[in-house]
């Protein structure tokens, strides 16, 4: 029951096309990742809403197939 970094990145990009995504494998076990996602679409949204966008992109994997994803979202500097 795990996901690989590329799969996570692909799902996020598919749902948030302009996203800059960086995934870190925290323990090398395919179950504990950190994801840093930057996107224009986060602008004006609360942290909860930003994170919900990413969770929706992961189509239900979060909390199931993917046990732990430390998430940090941000809006691009220049915006």
In the complex, minimum distance from the CB of residue 36 to other proteins, in angstroms, rounded to a whole number = 11
* 8 Å CB contact between 73 and 51: yes
CA distance 52 to 65: 17
Nearer to other proteins, 60 or 76 (CB): 60
What does the binding site for other proteins look like in residue numbers (CB under 8 A)?
Answer: 47-48, 51-52, 55, 60, 62-64, 68, 70-72
- The two tokens of residue 19 are 């996203």
- Nearer CB in complex with other proteins: 19/37: 37
Give the nearer residue to other proteins in terms of CB position, either 40 or 52. 52
42 phi/psi in degrees, rounded to 5 = -80, -15
């Amino acid at each position: 029951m795990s996901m690989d970094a590329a799969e996570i990145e692909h799902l996020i990009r598919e749902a948030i096309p302009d996203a800059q995504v960086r995934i870190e494998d925290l323990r090398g076990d395919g179950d504990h990742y950190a994801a840093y996602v930057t996107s224009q679409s986060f602008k004006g949204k609360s942290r909860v809403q930003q994170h919900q966008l990413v969770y929706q992109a992961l189509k239900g994997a979060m909390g199931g197939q993917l046990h732990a994803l430390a998430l940090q979202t941000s809006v691009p500097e220049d915006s």
